[in-house]
Structure 1
Amino acid sequence: MTPARCFTTALRQCCTNMACAPLFMAAIVLYAAYYCWPYMAQLPDHIHCAIVDADGSPLSRELVMEFRATPDLNILQVTENRQEAILAMKRAEVSAILEIPPHFGRDVAAAVPTAITLTADGAYLVGGRISTAGASGPLEAAASRAVAAWLRAQGASASELARMEMQAPALVTVAAYNTISGYLNFAVPIVFVIVFQTLMCAGMGMLFNAWYMAAARPAVLAAALGSPLCLFCVQMSVFFLCLFWTLFVEGPVFYLQGINSFQNIPATLGMCAAFSLAVSSLACLLSLLLGPTHFVMQAVVLSALPCVFISGNLWPTQNIPFFFQCLGWLFPSTPGSYGIIRASQCGADVAEAAPYMAHLLLLAAVYFVLACLEARRQARKAAQEEQGAPHAA
């Protein structure tokens, strides 16, 4: 079978073989249509909070009582030590920290601008975003009520109270990670990169599994095992599918969902092409290694969630052991997510994205060389078995 015939046969099989066609043709469409919907307008109630009262004034105590009485907030800890509240957040006991600054009561009485700080842990992307969005409204209302009540007790005039009601103390939200506090423009593009990697590897693995398990070995598989050029052409069928879906999601899908994309067109195209090539090479290697078994889907799908976290984008790098940080850079999803979100969503130019492109191209070359070695090993094994069969007969 010629290399061109290998490419067309593999591409047709990817689109029609029911072992892999749902992954290649339908899964990404479903992800693109439904992935963002649960997070578009979701606000929580009973947000677990810790309060750091660095003021200790009558006003700050009044403010703490007002916060405790707010139905949407669940105040679990009140302390003067900020580190205690941070440790509670690290232990996942609270999802937000409210900080009343020193001299808060004095500043309010003197009409000096002041601020109550709401800190949310952005390492939990959805939780951090919805915690700040869900808590900010009740906090502003509670602060306004407490300040107005305190000023009224101090004998403030009606005009002063009206002014304070119109100009309540500022609420400043500070994210511990992902400082843009974004989900659609930050997390969704990163997660889609890992979705592409998972679906392409699983799809190609299932296709090879179907070929290996066929009663008669297909000519395209025999050609791929016997010739590196034919193997490369089979890989190219998955490359073009991955590139098509990557551009489809980064283009019309993100445009319809209001997500920044293609902020720098040349860099985005280069990143998508390099990422697709690395993913197709990885898929080719995994298909040869796991294709003769029945565990392709299990192995690929189980690796998806760890890839989300060890990439260092959706989870702070300092929280990841060094070994897993190094392991993360062996997967295309890590340099792919770093480069694509910078080029497509943030507008980085080709020079800024070049290190990630080079990393992906290096991964693609290494994976393909390993795939060729595995294909040669399997071809030799098959030849030895064929030679041994006549002697046994």
Structure 2
Amino acid sequence: MNRPVWWRAWLREWRLVYGDTSVLLVIAGGVLFYALLYPLPYHRNVPGEQAVAVIDQDRSALSRQLIRMADATPQVRIVARPWSDEQARMLLARGEAHGLLVIPEHFQRDLYLGRPTSLSYAGDASYFLIYGNVVQGLLTAGTTLGVEAQAMRALMQGESPMAIPGEVMPMRLVTKAVFNDDSGYIGYIVPAVFVLILHQTLLITAGCVTVRDRLRGGLGLTAPGLALPLRLSVFVLIYLLLAALYFGFFFHFYAVPRLAGKGALLLVTTLLFVTTGLCALFMGQLLQRPEWPTVVVLVSSLPIVFTAGFVWPEADMPGWVRGLSWLAPAKPGIMALLKLNQMGAGLDAIRPELTGLVVQALGYGGAVVLMARRQAARA
């Protein structure tokens, strides 16, 4: 292989990329557009005060105190006090309230007598962070009022004030999020989705370029053993620059935690893009029309999101679903980068993901070589 042949082939691959308007639109427009557009709905990051309705069946001084305490929590804002369950359901259905608190009859009497009493919480659990916010606020208010009532009863029974706190609440629970300090949407969803965006757009661009070049007979101009590796290197280089923009500037812009070392992050990202690029070349050799890689990517996006392991626990998925999910480089790539960059894990902790990427790279790479040789032989 002499240098002029290598250099001409290298320039040809760059011209294929920059001469294709649709590919440029995905690389320059789509990747940057998604980086700005996707986090926009989550700009508030943490759910604030949520509208809650209260059905007070006791109408006592203690129930009114509980309502005031719930309204004083940072998670809850009391907006209505319906008289019936039907009226409360209408408030929830219209979105005027995101949660419901039901205070039972004889609440004050039972609490002062030390009898078990129940507070009922309800809400739309499809928005799990909003629902969790409502439940946390109502639970905090109810627990605090219960502790105060127990302390008051203990004082009335003549117990020592110094011993009451330990008897009423012998253990104190302090919760702290480990990997998402503010428990917000941005730290939860953006890191994984950014990896998915890079993965999906790389499949589209490299796949479309390969299909068009194959249909034009372009591989006949350059040996497949030279053209395909150079094409892979061009896209890996482009996406490494985009990854630096995503994991650098945009992570800093959205205040996403970054814990990975530069060397480890570069290694994992390069392996992910090499594997994804080989998968794209495989699609380009297999599919018959230039727009089909886009269709395949669009159809597979949601299944990849829900089987990647960050939305739904992998242990709760059927075995065949877990097996199919490992055919996409996004699955090990997302989990490896989340563990590395957001959880501070080392390379030893992501060995299964790295092994999966290497096995996929060998599989897709071998398939690309066989298909290219077969097409060259037919030509």
TM-score, normalised by the number of residues in structure 1: 0.66
1:318 Cα deviation after fit: 3.6
Tell me which of 255, 259, 275 is aligned to 1:258.
Answer: 255
2:27 aligns with: 24
Contact 1:205 1:286 in 2 (8 A): yes
Per-residue CA distance 1:20-40 (angstroms, 9 max, x = gap)? 111112211111112212112
1:129 aligns with: 129
Larger mean CA deviation between 137-146 and 31-40 belongs to: 137-146
- Amino acid paired to 1:249: Y
Tell me which of 322, 327, 334 is aligned to 1:325.
Answer: 322
Return the alpha-carbon distance in structure 2 between the equivalents of residues 96 and 319 of structure 1. 28
Alignment of 1:298-377 (within 5 A): 298-377=295-374
- The 1:73/1:8 distance shift into structure 2, 3 A limit, reads farther
1:35 aligns with: 38
2:192 aligns with: 190
SS class of match (2:22): coil
Contact 1:120 1:128 in 2 (8 A): no
Contact 2:53 2:99 in 1 (8 A): yes
Return the alpha-carbon distance in structure 1 between the equivalents of residues 263 and 109 of structure 2. 55
- Figure out how many residues of one structure are paired with residues of the other and give that number: 328
Return the alpha-carbon distance in structure 1 between the equivalents of residues 246 and 81 of structure 2. 38
1:11 aligns with: 14
1:144 Cα deviation after fit: 6.8
Per-residue CA distance 1:149-184 (angstroms, 9 max, x = gap)? 99999x99xxx9xxxxxxxxx998899xx9984532
- The 1:141/1:15 distance shift into structure 2, 3 A limit, reads farther
Contact 1:190 1:337 in 2 (8 A): yes
Return the alpha-carbon distance in structure 2 between the equivalents of residues 45 and 209 of structure 1. 51
1:247 Cα deviation after fit: 2.2
Return the alpha-carbon distance in structure 1 between the equivalents of residues 33 and 186 of structure 2. 17
- How many percent of aligned residue pairs carry the same amino acid? 24
Flag structure 1 segments of 5+ consecutive residues without an equivalent: 50-57, 78-94, 161-169, 384-393
TM-score, normalised by the number of residues in structure 2: 0.69
2:292 aligns with: 295
1:128 Cα deviation after fit: 2.1
1:222 aligns with: 220
Flag structure 2 segments of 5+ consecutive residues without an equivalent: 55-60, 71-76, 86-97, 162-171
- The 1:110/1:146 distance shift into structure 2, 3 A limit, reads closer
Return the alpha-carbon distance in structure 1 between the equivalents of residues 352 and 361 of structure 2. 14
Return the alpha-carbon distance in structure 2 between the equivalents of residues 243 and 119 of structure 1. 47
Larger mean CA deviation between 350-359 and 184-193 belongs to: 350-359
Contact 2:203 2:277 in 1 (8 A): yes
Contact 2:332 2:356 in 1 (8 A): yes
1:132 Cα deviation after fit: 2.6
Return the alpha-carbon distance in structure 2 between the equivalents of residues 151 and 261 of structure 1. 45
